[in-house]
Structure 1
Amino acid sequence: MTATAHYRGRFAPTPSGPLHLGSLVAALGSYLDARAASGQWLVRIEDIDPPRCPEGADSTILRQLEAFGLTWDGEVIWQSHRHDAYQHALDQLVEQGLAYPCSCSRKQWQAFDIYPGWCRNGVCDATKPVAWRLRSDLAKRPVGWNDRLFGEQHFDPAELGDVVLKRKDQLWAYQLAVVVDDAHQGITNIVRGYDLLDNTPWQQQLQAALSLPTPRYLHLPLVVTTDGQKLSKQNLAPALAEESTGIRRQLFQALQLLDQAPPPALVDESPEAQLRWAIENWSVSRLAPLAHRPTPPEQ
């Protein structure tokens, strides 16, 4: 199945800390692509990993989006409320022979590039907790799609390994949850960072196995520091500005990082004025197909 004509996009942050410039670029890119198409833009909080999600981080992210003028449609969905939906999907995969329990630890197979599939035909150690993995060799393969920025993509997911769907600690893994929730929310267009491009093959396998629609994909260049490090919470990227001048400047920076060539005078305009200009002038064709983009100097 393919995306429907009506555009529905989303921004789906993990609430492991406040948003930074890199996450602003991802949010802004998805927002502008939706609004320029007169579509809907939804927000989903991907909080399925509680140890990584400090209390209150989700509220901070929502406040930051509002401060930058990035208002969303409908209600926010929290993945922590969606366990039954993920279990139903896993049960379907098990029934099809596309998911299996695995007792192996990363330490056991770390000498291999990918997990070797030792538990595909039976759990190696029934005394240990198990994760659930996707049989990437039996699900749809090969996988291909036309990324709206990076062009034709072709992968054999079996060469990427059997991805985890549910962890040994009983927490749900990203790949299954994101596929189930994108379908639940009717997402037709996914705009996200380049670091997730090679996750798409597994997600398309899951979409096919669960008879779910396949959205269109646009992967955006990652924002990196001067030494090439991806801006991330793990790398202690500073949180977005909170005062008005900083908000205007960082929003302008994000437009620059998206190659939208905003006029210099726009940096002094309000977020609302900057976004009006950006929606009217949004063009994916301006984006350079680069995996990484250095942070521009502040205005």
Structure 2
Amino acid sequence: MAEKKKQHYVPQFMLRNFSENQKTVRVYLKEQGKIIENFPIKNVMQSAYTYGQDLEVERELGELETAAAIEMQRMIKNPDKYAQENETLPDGFLLFLKTLYSRSLGSMERKNQIINDTINEYGATNEPERLKEIKEFEEEELETNNFYGESALYDGNTKNWHDIEHWSGPYRLIKTNSPLFLADNQLYAHQLAISPFVLLVFSEHVVNFEEWTRLLFGSANNLDSWRTDPVFVDGVTDSYNQRALTNTVNQLIIPSSISKDDIDKLADKK
């Protein structure tokens, strides 16, 4: 039960994609401004009962993650082959990506703000019945984290499939020359580092990249041109890592080749 208490908002299988030994990762602590070597994966990007103490949502997310991990390994192993065999991302994988967004730290923070505003407004009259309802909601849903668990799953549930469809369509797998970071806050999941050297770009960001291609090459007809051009790929890597650093709340997974000075220089580019 102790291990079940630690529930990850970035799945452990993704963390292992950035590990050299499948057990630990190298983490930059943004708030403290220091790097931790060999940080145990089980202790990274998690909190106590993130999705509720009954473990029901944790189990459902686990099922999604099992299938997503298999799909992601296929992408990492041979990005070109995967792209040739799959015109679009599978629905189940899109569902996983949606939950990854909906349980991000940024998404949770927004939900907190909405809940606080709603409670304050609803209880402003100090009517006993309303105050009783608020107290029951806080005890049954907030203190147990059940609300956050249900919202993490519901936001990516098939009941909201129209949102999933918004994420579907074209995608690209970009093999990078420089290593990618992994942020603890996957709020902008239309670009996602799935390994240190493979970046998944999908939905509206593919359209944005096509526009960049027109600027760089004069045409977007040959989409492979921007996917393989070293100048473009390096620019994409820098841009992604800057965003990862900016969005990170505190924990940022970085490769062994990156120093504190490198991070400071990247921060200065913003």
TM over 0.5: no
Higher helix share: 2
Q: TM-score, normalised by structure 2?
A: 0.27
Q: TM-score, normalised by structure 1?
A: 0.25
